[in-house]
Amino acid sequence: MSPLGGGSLLLAWQLKGKHVLVVGGGDVASGRIESVLAADARVTLISPSNGLHPLTKSFLDEPYNITYHDRLFAGVEDLADVDLVLTAIDDVAQSHVICSLCRELKIPVNVADIPESCDFYFGSQIRDGPLQIMISTNGNSPKLANLIRKKVEQSLPEHAGEAITKVGELRTKLKERAPGVGGAIGKRRMRWMIDVCTSWEMEELALLDDQMIRKLLDDGWEKNAVPSPGELGARSSHQAYKTTPNFLAPVVFATTLSFVAGAACAGLFLLSRRR
């Protein structure tokens, strides 16, 4: 067993409606803005207009929840009612000032390119609808994180995001039909959902619509069974998933896991050498 310590706590942070301050509007800042907008955050951007990246400008041109100030960071007054701060500016001294103010006010802060001033890191992310996967190197090597992300992304099945969305809809309808938290009903719901997810292919789950969900609950849940997609009248229109034989999937995924594990071991070795 590997010793504990030296890592970060990876969380899915719910930012919906939270107030995020972004200082800087360049290339790095545009990526930060995109990430927090995807999480439905309320954004305030402070940056002179002559330094705005085209992507940042495009966000300002759309009806996103962004308040823009065409100026430099003014001081502690800019931190009022802020839940999270992201800085991406070339002024290192100013970055340290903003970081110190955030620490005094206990506001989580990320300072681009200064890992020791970060309360959290941005990893290399995969997103497909509700599916989100983050690869983090704890600030050691963003480039390696990006390479590992590409390896993982290649191993993911087609239509994974669609399938997750549809399974979420099925789960919601099932809880409406069989409400309750915990106990026997909760265990049965969990077991049945597991059976559905493991019995159906990813592309088949992605084909679920309202009529199929209703029939799956009627013929499956109510009868304590898991009908096949064919029994529900499903006809796959997705062909890409079938181009790779099923017996190769474990090999591809195992190769990816080996790559990730090797990279993680290398990272731990480098960290241990630095101590």
Q: What are phi and psi of 139, to 5 degrees?
A: 80, 0
Q: How far is CA 214 from CA 79, 145, 176, in A?
A: 49, 42, 12
Q: List the one residue out of 146, 160, 144, 137 whose CA is nearest residue 31.
A: 146
199-237: per-residue pLDDT in tens?
A: 999 999 999 999 999 999 999 999 999 999 999 887 655
Looking at per-residue pLDDT, the higher value among 234 and 94 belongs to 94
Question: Residue holding tokens 């502690």?
Answer: 76
Q: Which of 89-103, 141-155, 237-251 has the highest mean pLDDT?
A: 89-103
Q: What's residue 12's pLDDT?
A: 87
Q: pLDDT value at position 195?
A: 96
The pLDDT of 179-187, averaged and rounded, is: 89
- Beta strands 131-135 and 124-128: pairing type? antiparallel
Cross-strand pairs, 111? 87
Given the residues 113, 119, 128, 219, the one annotated as active site: 113
Mean residue pLDDT of the chain comes to 86
Domains of the chain, residue spans: 19-122, 160-237
Share of the chain above pLDDT 70, in %: 84
CATH of domain 19-122: 3.40.50.720
Q: What are phi and psi of 253, to 5 degrees?
A: -70, -40
pLDDT band at residue 249 using 50, 70 and 90 as cut-offs: very low
Quote the pLDDT of residue 236: 55
Yes or no: say if 88 and 23 are a contact pair by the CB < 8 Å rule. yes
The pLDDT of residue 1 is: 63
Answer for the pair 232, 225: CB distance below 8 angstroms, yes or no.
no
pLDDT digits (tens, 9 = 90+) for 250-263: 444 444 444 444 44
pLDDT at 256: 45
Q: What is the DSSP string of the chain?
A: -PPS-S---------TT-EEEEE--SHHHHHHHHHHHHTT-EEEEE--GGG--HHHHHHHHTT-SEEEE-S----GGGGTT-SEEEE--S-HHHHHHHHHHHHHHT--EEETT-GGG-SS---EEEEETTEEEEE--TTS-HHHHHHHHHHHHHHSPTTHHHHHHHHHHHHHHHHHHS--SSHHHHHHHHHHHHHHHHHS-HHHHTT--HHHHHHHIIIIITTT----TGGGT------GGGGS-GGGHHHHHHHHHHHHHHHHHHHHHHHHHH-
Residue-level pLDDT at 8: 86
- Minimum mean pLDDT among 60-64, 148-152, 161-165, 239-243: which range? 239-243
What was the pLDDT predicted at 258? 45
Give residue-wise pLDDT tens across range 36-82: 999 999 999 999 999 999 999 999 999 999 999 999 999 999 999 99
Q: Quickly state the pLDDT bin for 181 (edges 50, 70, 90).
A: confident
The answer to whether residue 113 is catalytic is yes
